A and B are shown apart, each in its own frame.
Chain A
Amino acid sequence: GAVVSQHPSWVICKSGTSVKIECRSLDFQATTMFWYRQFPKQSLMLMATSNEGSKATYEQGVEKDKFLINHASLTLSTLTVTSAHPEDSSFYICSAHPGPEGGTQYFGPGTRLLVL
């Protein structure tokens, strides 16, 4: 299957820090990337849909000014958690979709964020 990487895999930071997470599709071009968040023992929650070269579409309740998404190329999307607070601590997972002919999305390994 297709390979998606995420970096970093772990982040521990102080409250007020901004954290940047990268999501890369390694062996295919991703027209669309998705960003999810998963709290312990809860299901995946879609945060936003990111299309290359255009603004991300955020789900209801997700602050676009707090979670900045950039999808500058067909293989890279970034999520920046600005001024992170302890309640932002979570498991952030990206996925990449090859496009209409590509079947389904493939997930990155996730990034665990702990804000102290």
Chain B
Amino acid sequence: RKEVEQDPGPFNVPEGATVAFNCTYSNSASQSFFWYRQDCRKEPKLLMSVYSSGNEDGRFTAQLNRASQYISLLIRDSKLSDSATYLCVVNSGGYQKVTFGTGTKLQVIP
């Protein structure tokens, strides 16, 4: 089983739709979690951290479920500019042990 797993997609959704991605992790000792966004042919950029109590940043909501070992990202009112690959990142065993998921591709359609 991979350390961090994501559905590669693509998720094709119409503008204005709500879409959610999950990411599962295998190491129960994982300590911190992040969502990154990567546009085509660009470097990943931090979208948001994921806190135990869940957190929201505008149209984006991140949640952590430690019992089931997954994190989620919810995007409301999708915009064309949200089209990108969303990478789940898990820190295990300290800040140097970082594992990336393979990413979930989102395509928002007009």
A interface residues, Cβ below 8 angstroms from B: 1, 32, 34, 43-44, 46, 49, 51, 91, 93, 97, 99-100, 102-110
Distance (Å) between the CB of B103 and the closest chain A CB?
6
Across the interface, which residues of B come within 8 angstroms of A1, CB to CB? 46
Closest A residue to B4 using CB positions: A43
- 5 A-B pairs with least C-beta separation: A43-B102, A107-B43, A110-B43, A44-B100, A93-B43
Do the beta carbons of A91 and B41 come within 8 Å of each other?
Answer: yes
B98 at interface (Cβ–Cβ under 8 A)?
Answer: yes
B interface residues, Cβ below 8 angstroms from A: 32, 34, 41-46, 49, 87, 89, 91, 94-96, 98, 100-103
Across the interface, which residues of B come within 8 angstroms of A46, CB to CB? 98, 100
Across the interface, which residues of B come within 8 angstroms of A51, CB to CB? 96
- Give the secondary structure class of A's interface: loop
Kindly list 18 other residue pairs between chains A and B, CB separation below 8 angstroms, not including A43-B103, A91-B41, A104-B91.
A32-B95, A34-B98, A43-B100, A43-B102, A44-B44, A44-B100, A46-B98, A49-B96, A51-B96, A93-B44, A100-B94, A102-B95, A104-B46, A104-B49, A105-B98, A107-B43, A108-B43, A110-B43
Across the interface, which residues of B come within 8 angstroms of A44, CB to CB? 44, 87, 100
Do the beta carbons of A109 and B46 come within 8 Å of each other?
Answer: no
With A32-B96, A97-B96: A106-B46 Cβ-Cβ less than 8 Å:
yes
The 16 listed contacts between A and B (C-beta, < 8 Å) are: A1-B46, A34-B98, A43-B101, A43-B103, A44-B44, A44-B87, A46-B100, A91-B41, A93-B43, A100-B95, A102-B95, A104-B32, A104-B34, A106-B46, A107-B44, A109-B43
Do the beta carbons of B34 and A110 come within 8 Å of each other?
Answer: no
Across the interface, which residues of B come within 8 angstroms of A32, CB to CB? 95-96
Across the interface, which residues of B come within 8 angstroms of A43, CB to CB? 87, 100-103
Across the interface, which residues of A come within 8 angstroms of B89, CB to CB? 104
Give complex CA distance A100, B41 in Å: 30
